[in-house]
Amino acid sequence: MTSDGRTVTLSDCNRRQFFAALGGVVLSFGQTVQQPDRQTGSQVYDPDRAGRSQTPVTALDNDKSVQELEKKLRCSCGCGLDVYTCRTTDFTCTYSPALHKEVIGMLGNGKTPQEVIDAFVAQYGQVALMSPPRRGFNLLGYIVPGIALVVAAGVLFLVLLRWTRQARTAEPVITTVPPDATPAELERLQRELDKLPG
């Protein structure tokens, strides 16, 4: 369409426009031929912009038992996340995919999840676990807050009991005063009370 609304056909144009249009058709034909079917995954303009290339997800990647196991193992990149969370979150990390492959490899070799965990501890130390094993010194990490709280609650209970006993044995105090009394009035009242016999 031209600006005045006419539809341009090849017969209307000059020689330069004709060859330009023909070239465009040939080029676009070439692109169509070279481009794979969009439905099967065409190449993007600049793959580098999309980060590191990924491999298709396998059934093992998605396996619940593998995920559960990897959630117990810590990624060594310093992110503080477990292997599963890191490899499915920080796609620039090179450690978690490698550790994932290690896990898959060990499971493929017939190791049980516990054996995989033991192998990781043997190789990287206890720091490789998201939770320290519940034994020895590590037990303190689990039980100290609870014990401290129970002990503190016990102490608090005893202190409160003592306070309440003290309150009962203490001299009776006057529990009400005239709500509108000023300090001067209270003083006068006290003087009058002092004058009373006994």
Partner 1 sequence: MPLLGTLALWLAFLVGLWGAITGFVGGAQNRADLQQSARHATFALLAALATAVISLEIAIFRHDFSVAYVAGRTSRNLPTFYLWSALYSGQEGSLLFWAAVLSLFAVLAQVLTSRRYRAFLPYVAGVTSLVATFFVGVMLFAPANPFTRLPFTPLDGSGMNPQLQNPGMVFHPPMLYLGYISITIPFAFAIAALLTKKLDTEWMVAVRKWTIVSWLFLSIGLLIGMWWAYVELGWGGYWAWDPVENAALLPWLVMTAFLHSVMIQEKRGMLKKWNLALILGAWVLSIFGTFLTRSGVIASVHSFTESPVGYYFLGFLLFAVAACTVLYVTRLPLLEAEATLESILSREASFLFNNLLLIGLAFSVLWGTMFPIISEAVKGVKITYGPPTFNFVNIPLGLVLLLVTGIGPLIAWRRASPSNLKRQFAVPVTVGVFALLILLVAGMRDVGALLAFSFGAFVSGTVTQEFARGARARHRQYGEPTWLAVFQLLSRNRRRYGGYIVHIGIVLLFMGFAGMAFKTETEATLRPGETAELRGRDGHVYSFTHLGISQYNTLNRYVTAALLEVKRDGKAIGRLRTEKRQHVDALGNKTFEPSTEVGIMSGLRVDLYVVLAGLVSGTEEAVFRFTINPLVWWVWFGGFVLVIGGLIVLWPGGAPLASGPRARSQAGYAVKLEPAQ
For the segment 104-143, give every residue that binds partner 1 (CB under 8 A). 125-132, 137-138, 140-142
Distance CA 90, CA 29 (A): 40
Q: What are phi and psi of 144, to 5 degrees?
A: -60, -45
21 or 130, CB closer to partner 1?
A: 130
Give one DSSP letter per residue of 15-38, joined into a string: HHHHHHHHHHHHHHHHHHHHSPPG
- Does the footprint of partner 1 cover residue 83 (CB under 8 A)? no
Six token digits for residue 68:
């559960």
Contact of 79 with 90, CB cutoff 8 Å:
yes
Distance CA 66, CA 70 (A): 6
Alpha-carbon distances of 100 from 52, 84, 137, 164, rounded to whole Å: 16, 8, 29, 61
113 or 138, CB closer to partner 1?
A: 138
CA 117 to chain centre: 22
Alpha-carbon distances of 96 from 55, 83, 122, rounded to whole Å: 14, 5, 18
- Does the footprint of partner 1 cover residue 175 (CB under 8 A)? yes
User: Of residues 7, 9, 31, 40, which one binds partner 1 by CB under 8 A?
Assistant: 40
- Pick the piece of the chain touching partner 1 (CB under 8 A) from 1-9, 14-22, 105-113, 164-172: 164-172
Binding residues with partner 1: total (CB under 8 A):
77
115 or 187, CB closer to partner 1?
A: 187
User: Of residues 6, 16, 38, 135, which one binds partner 1 by CB under 8 A?
Assistant: 38
What is the nearest approach in angstroms of partner 1 to the Cβ of residue 108? 19
User: Of residues 68, 115, 118, 187, which one binds partner 1 by CB under 8 A?
Assistant: 187
What is the nearest approach in angstroms of partner 1 to the Cβ of residue 104? 14
17 or 58, CB closer to partner 1?
A: 58
User: Of residues 5, 51, 108, 198, which one binds partner 1 by CB under 8 A?
Assistant: 51
- Does the footprint of partner 1 cover residue 8 (CB under 8 A)? no
Q: Is 47 helix (H, G, I), strand (E, B) or coil?
A: helix
